[in-house]
């Protein structure tokens, strides 16, 4: 009789945890088919722990590697080194990583060193510019070079992998697991119900229209962020009846500088990072979103929310091609112009807010696990 397949999920950041949570939850419920273990690197300690609590994930191994001012050199080498013991301890059949983080790359490399099969969730995203995003574009390409299972979220991602020589039989279009996570959270915390925490709820009660903002990409550090924040400040002054809600990333390169530009504007609300259920509630209730996040480019179209992306390129072209996402980069004039159009022009807004996700139907986790079931383990 075949024993259950041993799956080891490895992640270290909030987005990875969100996107792997539906797969972990479903695998844990299929005990006859899978032995499920979770290892976290804690690449981002505080923001990771929040999501672990939300989804009830209890790691079987916690490497606790985050250090103040950590460099990519430290983080990459520490993960590879510590994963050796984790892999010896759990002896998985498949190491499962997600996306394009340093954790994903280093854990996939460690799995390859240990002669384990590697599964890559959200495979095949590409900008074809190794500096944008940095280091994510190279991380995901390196994961693709060692992965055995490539779980592509879209047909476009699948084509990227096939063009790079990945065998067709190793590539599976599943949809993006972030849609599974989003729909599950909003089922528990619907937009027409109360917000899970008080502060954003009070802002939404006081303002009819809210613009939700995030920003954290390394390539935007310095002058690009300064240009973005200056444009947001100008838009806030022009639209005093609109709330600009900005959960600020804890990186000091972001936190300290953004406050200098926006903190004195009465309709700008600089909040700490929000728990994922509260953030989903804000996405579902806001008017539009300004962000450099990859995940939000996937989530917002499913909610019918226009997205202005403060990046010059995106590895998620599907929503942009459908007209639901607009790349504005760090062009202050474009940021202000598009915010104003989406506030003032109902036809423009309706065209971008038409809804419908190109990233899946909420069944990506089910598809991934059905594929992993097909290969029996003696």
List active site positions. 100, 122, 136, 216, 218, 249
Q: Which pair of tokens denotes residue 375? A: 């290969």
3-state percent helix, strand, coil for the chain, nearest multiple of 5: 50, 15, 35
d(CA 209, CA 53): 31
Helices (H) and strands (E) in the chain, counts: 16, 13
Largest pairwise CA distance in the chain: 69
Alpha helices in the chain (DSSP H): 14-29, 45-55, 72-90, 102-113, 136-146, 155-163, 177-188, 198-206, 223-238, 252-262, 276-285, 294-302, 317-321, 332-344, 346-352, 364-373
345: exposed, middle or buried (C-beta count within 10 Å: 0-12, 13-18, 19+)? exposed
117, containing H or E segment = strand 117-121
Structure tokens belonging to residue 197: 């925490």
- Across the strands, what pairs with 36? 7
In angstroms, the CA 111 to CA 88 distance is 10
Alpha carbon dihedral 283, 174, 371, 111, in 10-degree steps, equals -70
Residues ≥6 apart with Cβ < 8 Å to 340? 235, 238, 239
Compute the CA torsion angle 224, 137, 127, 164 (nearest 10 deg): 170
190: Cα separation from own chain's centroid = 21
- Measured at the CA of 328, the angle between CA 240 and CA 325, to 5 degrees, comes to 90
Name the token pair of 65.
Answer: 């590697």
Distance CA 94, CA 20 (A): 14
């Amino acid at each position: 009789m075949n024993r259950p397949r041993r799956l080891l999920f490895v992640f270290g950041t909030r987005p990875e945890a969100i996107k792997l949570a539906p797969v972990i939850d479903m695998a844990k419920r299929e005990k006859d088919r899978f032995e499920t273990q979770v290892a976290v690197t804690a690449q981002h300690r505080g923001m990771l722990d929040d999501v672990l609590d939300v989804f009830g994930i209890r790691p079987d191994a916690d490497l606790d590697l985050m250090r103040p001012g950590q460099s990519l050199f430290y983080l990459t080498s520490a993960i590879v080194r510590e994963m050796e013991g984790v892999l010896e301890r759990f002896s998985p059949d498949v190491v499962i990583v997600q996306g394009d983080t340093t954790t994903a790359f280093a854990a996939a490399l460690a799995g390859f060193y240990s002669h384990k099969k590697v599964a890559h969730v959200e495979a095949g995203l590409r900008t074809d510019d190794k500096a944008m995003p940095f280091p994510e574009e190279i991380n995901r390409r390196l994961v693709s070079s060692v992965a055995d299972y490539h779980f592509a979220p879209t047909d476009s991602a699948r084509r990227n992998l096939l063009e790079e020589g990945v065998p067709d039989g190793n590539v599976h279009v599943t949809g993006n697991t972030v849609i599974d996570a989003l729909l599950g959270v909003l089922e528990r915390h619907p937009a027409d119900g109360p917000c899970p925490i008080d502060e954003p709820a009070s802002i939404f009660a006081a303002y009819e229209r809210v613009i939700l903002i995030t920003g954290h990409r390394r390539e935007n550090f310095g002058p690009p962020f300064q240009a973005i924040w200056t444009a947001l400040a100008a838009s806030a002054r022009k639209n005093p009846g609109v709330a600009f809600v900005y959960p600020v990333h804890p990186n000091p390169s972001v936190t300290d500088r953004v406050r200098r530009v926006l903190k004195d504007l009465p309709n700008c609300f600089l909040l700490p990072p929000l728990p994922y259920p509260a953030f989903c509630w804000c996405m579902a209730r806001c008017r539009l979103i300004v962000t450099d996040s990859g995940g939000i480019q996937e989530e917002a179209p499913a909610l019918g929310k226009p997205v202005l992306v403060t990046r010059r390129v995106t590895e998620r072209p599907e929503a942009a091609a459908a007209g639901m996402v607009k790349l504005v980069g760090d062009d202050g004039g474009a940021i202000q112009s598009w915010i104003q159009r989406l506030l003032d022009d109902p036809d423009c807004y309706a065209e971008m807010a038409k809804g419908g996700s190109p990233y899946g139907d909420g069944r990506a986790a089910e598809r991934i696990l059905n594929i992993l079931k097909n290969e029996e383990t003696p």
